[in-house]
Amino acid sequence: MIRIALTKGRIEEKTLSILEKAGYDCSDVRNKGRKLLLSIGDNIEVVLSKSADVITYIEHGVCDIGIVGKDTIMEHGKTFYELLDLGFGKCRFALAGLKGKNFYDGYSHKVIASKYPTVTKNYFNSRGIDVEVVKIEGSVELAPLLGLADAIVDIVETGSTLKENGLEVYEDIANVSARLIVNVASIKLKREEINEFIDRVSAQIEK
């Protein structure tokens, strides 16, 4: 038996269509109601959860395979194997702020607002720049508009949220998409089942 932790929402929907194309019966998941532990076929259990919890389940070994965004992996991930880029949920991390402003102007240290404080700190550390990071839970784009921050680090997909709020990308930080991760012990103990699952899924990924 293998157990898969699947991120609820957009990733869930795309993953289910890939699994169905790969021949897995996802009717239990599609008709889940309020049920949280579901099955696809005889040997595979699926848990639906928030993205950060997917990482927790994989690191604690209570699930073998996780499907989660690279953004969450970069913010919360530590020890597991990242084996597959699923090719959907594509977007990027970017540094953004008020349009037309030069971010590096002036000598004062910069304040950056983000839902992703670790990603933000790692990015500026790697460039040897000291910044203050303010953690925001949603609508981070408000921070430069309210004067709370000099810039934000956030996910940009179409760019329309930035545009509609008079903001622009200053720098691209990293590409993001949905990834398949595996617990380090599971890869040894359940090699055959995990490889079969990964082979069937990767055959359905749009290149």
- Taking CB under 6 A as the binding criterion, the range among 96-104, 123-131, 135-143, 168-176 that sits at the site for ligand PRP is 135-143
Strand ranges in 19-106 using DSSP code E only, listed in sequence order: 37-39, 44-49, 65-69, 81-85, 91-98
In angstroms, what is the minimal distance from the CB of 45 to ligand PRP?
27
Among 17, 43, 125, 139, binds ligand PRP (CB under 6 A): 139
Which sign does the torsion angle of CA 57, 55, 185, 180 carry? positive
Instruction: Establish if 136 lies at the interface with ligand PRP (CB under 6 A).
Output: no
Identify residues 90-129 at the interface with ligand PRP (CB under 6 A).
none
Strand partners, 47: 5, 37
Instruction: Establish if 138 lies at the interface with ligand PRP (CB under 6 A).
Output: yes
Say whether 79 sits in a helix, a strand or coil.
coil
Instruction: Establish if 147 lies at the interface with ligand PRP (CB under 6 A).
Output: no
Residue 52 neighbours by CB under 8 Å, 6+ apart: 72, 75, 76
Identify residues 4-63 at the interface with ligand PRP (CB under 6 A).
none
Instruction: Establish if 172 lies at the interface with ligand PRP (CB under 6 A).
Output: no
Instruction: Establish if 175 lies at the interface with ligand PRP (CB under 6 A).
Output: no
Binding interface with ligand PRP (CB under 6 A) = 138-141, 154-161
